[in-house]
Structure 1
């Protein structure tokens, strides 16, 4: 009898544990990810090779169940983030993922632009319309358009930027019908929508948040395989790797160099989240230098956060403050070859 009781109790407890692992709390957990060598995922046509390597760093992010929550509470380099700090209000999982992929694509464009201009090579853009990031509930586009759709014509009139799209729609009256031409999964679609007033601005619209969709045109061609990476924080390291393949002099000097930071088209390196966790990831990967956004000596800069984490884990990896792409190039040119 006791044996049956204990067996049943064990099974019940096991089922409860299994089911509770599928119940998510209103938090995300972030933890150190990996430091990934960039040369295998970036290829400049006929580009130069390097002795060392540039590495991007990542943070692993996922929804928290009760066990992940408890582990994060007890772990120094795992952080808990309320859902509202990660996702916008009413943003679905699909919309969040699309936003992260767009941010990555945007960071690639800026990285390519900065690297090619620094190398003295021409850069051109081909504007393809607007890219749908979010669809507002209970608005005309709800249930018709989807995140990642690319809209390129209104009533048969093609446009090249988000501002042109906004102006075209804003020229309509509430209740007017417009025909949108868009692309989804490689197929051209059309949808008739009735213009409504946007809740916040009270201006005519269809209820989408959007950004410019454009492709960059450069020679020599460059390919960046970022299919498994989201967000904008790899932009700066992308630019270093691309530039290093464009120029004959090897900027790695034979070292393992990691780092992080957004990249603006003017060469400014921007703040990112989770830099302490990225320092941990870079140290585990054997990086010898780590570039961190200095934010013009801000009191709580990424650089100071990275330096504190480096001291805490007692790494020999050198933390280097950078504000611009040129700062990083200047530092690398001054390094002695390994």
Structure 2
């Protein structure tokens, strides 16, 4: 009888453990990720091999199960986010991943352009079309367009930037039909869609997509950035610094281990990111001496201010440096000992 009782208890224990692991809750859990040396990811032809290190910082994220949900309430720097705060309305896991990878591509393009301009090296870029970044449910594009599609023309008119496309559509009226030419994979496709108001912005009309401009960048010397499967735009600043360091003769790191985070645009402006506290923890674990954090022009709730609080909390000696632009980072590095 006891053996049967033990067997039943063991069986139910296994079932409960499996349920705790495999049943997904309506949350994402995030935690400190890694601080990774950028040298193996950035390859400028005949670029300098510098003594110091620029590091990309990441946040680990995944769907919460019962175990990770409990850990998030017990462990420091673990955070829970409802699904709707991470994924856009109606967005699938595949579309979310595609959007994050496309944001990384945009980030790399801007980083390359900024670094080459600052280094005085030849760089040119032209627009190739407009990428679909998300598709809203219950809007005309649903079922017709997908995340990752590249729109090349509307009504036969070539579309080269997202701003151009938005301006073109805003000049039209509710119910007007537009003929969209787009590329999916290597195949060109077409769809005719009627414009309608956005559910949460009835004064604005459209087909229910968010957009990003696709750039083709040509540089001399050539550069390759291997971002692997890293998603999101937050590595832009650090990519630009690593590229610049390989382009110039001097080692702007001066032998130091430098981490950081922040988006970057074609004008070299640095923008805020999520998970700054977790990235501070990751950088400290890898022995970073300096951390560049988006300053957000001195905002009270800026990434920089949060980074400073976290640095004090964990007792790190890492120097937290506020930056609003790529040039801010370069100025700091030049005066650094």
Q: TM-score, normalised by structure 1?
A: 0.91
Q: Runs of 5+ in structure 2 lacking a partner?
A: none
**Are 2:105 and 1:118 equivalent residues in the alignment?**
no
**Aligned length in residues:** 336
SS in 1 for 2:144: coil
Aligned partner of 1:296 in structure 2 is: 297
Residue equivalent to 1:68:
68
Q: Is the 8 A contact 2:88 2:134 kept in 1?
A: no
1:7 alignment counterpart: 7
User: What root-mean-square deviation, in Å, do the aligned CA atoms of Structure 1 and Structure 2 show?
Assistant: 2.2
Instruction: Determine the C-alpha separation between the residues in 2 that align with 1:204 and 1:280.
Output: 44
Task: Give the whole-Å Cα distance in 1 for the aligned partners of 2:274 and 2:49.
Answer: 31
- Deviation, structure 1 residue 284: 1.3
Map 1:138-157; keep pairs closer than 5 Å: 138-157=138-157
Q: How does 1:234-273 map to 2 (within 5 A)?
A: 234-273=235-274
Q: Which moves more between the two structures, 257-266 or 120-129? A: 120-129
Distance 2:112 2:91 in 1: 30
Take 1:225 and 1:10, find their aligned partners in 2: how far apart are those partners?
A: 47
The 1:173/1:103 distance shift into structure 2, 3 A limit, reads: same
Residues 95 and 330 from structure 1, CA distance in 2 versus in 1: closer, same or farther, beyond 3 angstroms?
same
1:205/1:261 CA distance change after superposition, 3 Å: closer
1:29 counterpart SS class: strand
Which residue in the other structure is 2:78 paired with? Answer: 78
Greater mean deviation of Cα atoms: 292-301 or 138-147: 292-301
Matched, 1:275 2:292: no
1:169 CA displacement: 4.9
Q: How many Å separate the matches in 1 of 2:300 and 2:198? A: 39
Secondary structure of 1:84's partner? helix
Q: Per the alignment, do residues 65 and 278 of structure 1 end up closer, same or farther by CA in structure 2, a change over 3 Å counting?
A: same
Q: What is the 5 A alignment of 1:148-297? A: 148-169=148-169, 178-196=178-196, 198-199=198-199, 200-201=201-202, 205-297=206-298
Secondary structure of the corresponding residue to residue 190 of structure 1 = strand
Q: Report whether the alignment pairs 1:50 with 2:50.
A: yes
> Could you tell me how far apart the structure 2 residues matched to 1:104 and 1:181 are?
25
* Distance change in 2, residues 1:137/1:89 (3 Å): closer
Structure 1: give runs of 5+ residues left out of the alignment: none
The DSSP-based 3-state class of the residue aligned with 1:49 is: coil
C-alpha distance 88-50 of structure 1, shift in aligned 2 (>3 A): same
Per the alignment, do residues 269 and 204 of structure 1 end up closer, same or farther by CA in structure 2, a change over 3 Å counting? closer
2:133 aligns with 133
1:134 CA drift (Å): 1.7
Change (3 A) 1:310 1:181: same
Distance 1:10 1:249 in 2: 64
State the TM-score, normalized to the length of structure 2: 0.91
1:266-295 residue CA offsets vs partner (Å, 9 max, x unmatched): 222222221111111111112122222223
Instruction: Give the Å deviation of 1:144.
Output: 2.0
Q: Tell me what 1:319 maps to.
A: 320
